[in-house]
Structure 1
């Protein structure tokens, strides 16, 4: 069914994308015949997300600032620019990898587009490697929210950017 987001078994080479990742999950949405490449899917997901996701991100930024954690795509310029706060690290029409390394954890999102002209799917895989106790604590706290956010944002891929 088009627009239905479901959790799936991750199918990325974690050793290549983020060696040592301790957390990996993936969600997939069927987008029907929509002609969407990986950048467009990521853009729709990040920039067209539900307002409640924007509110959670603002709250997160306020809460982590005292710990010196990144609140946007801070740091070295990304080869593929930024989509929202996500630095694009590599990109083909069918796969975009974004993310950054921080003091507490390193993360990547992988946006894959697959299928044929009549039936396409977008899969978003999240990988996280924690670097210390703060990272492990943060990941434990954020995981339930991450799953809600991922589902909410992916539901927007089938909609044009507003």
Structure 2
């Protein structure tokens, strides 16, 4: 078989069998377009935090938009309730990789027994803040969605707190951090676009 033909079929790898090539190309394009439009800023996180007092890893990203009066739970549902396809594919891949280690998958929680936002259980909520997350063998984590209105603007922030319990937790966080940051920036940017569209006057 000619080398050129072999190259054209290079996409038929084990990953390609999990994620079809056309789907993979589409999701990569969507991710890049989202990043190009992204305006969330990374801000400092103060530890300890009451949501997870023993957290030893944290980050936070904020998005500033015209005042929209969206509540924290609605912002969480818009951002985390319906992930883009490329994020869902990454999560599926993550679940496959961690399954042999006995770690929880994103489908281990039943919506019938506890309120959920996407794959994450709701631990507490108010108009200005919602806390999501669960404890696992290797680490505990919390996702905190905050909203604040000031001067005709609204700030929506997504903070992630992690307590790394064992060495596996440290290795896991080191491995996923680049993807985590990409996803948080992407979902905040997507949230901003959706809220901006909702604010546009109808013709």
Structure 1-normalised TM-score? 0.87
The corresponding residue for 2:41 is 6
| Structure 1 consecutive aligned stretches of length 4 or more whose deviation exceeds 3 Å | 73-80
Deviation at 1:119, TM superposition (A): 0.8
Structure 2-normalised TM-score? 0.71
- State how 1:82-161 maps to structure 2 within 5 Å: 82-116=116-150, 118-158=152-192, 159=194
Contact 2:38/2:186 (CA < 8 Å) preserved in 1?
A: no
The corresponding residue for 2:61 is 27
Higher helix share: 2
Which is worse superposed, 89-98 or 108-117? 108-117
Distance 1:78 1:98, change over 3 A: farther
Which is worse superposed, 45-54 or 23-32? 45-54
Deviation at 1:26, TM superposition (A): 0.4
Quote the Cα distance in structure 2 between the aligned partners of 1:76 and 1:124.
Answer: 24
Contact 1:105/1:130 (CA < 8 Å) preserved in 2?
A: yes
Unaligned runs of 5+ in 2: 1-36, 196-203
Quote the Cα distance in structure 2 between the aligned partners of 1:108 and 1:79.
Answer: 19
Unaligned runs of 5+ in 1: none
The corresponding residue for 2:71 is 37
Deviation at 1:65, TM superposition (A): 1.1
The corresponding residue for 2:32 is none
Contact 1:35/1:117 (CA < 8 Å) preserved in 2?
A: no
Q: How many residues end up aligned between the 2 structures?
A: 159
Deviation at 1:24, TM superposition (A): 0.7
Contact 1:48/1:156 (CA < 8 Å) preserved in 2?
A: no
Deviation at 1:137, TM superposition (A): 0.8
The structure showing larger relative contact order (alpha-carbon pairs under 8 Å, at least 6 residues apart) is 1
Deviation at 1:134, TM superposition (A): 1.0
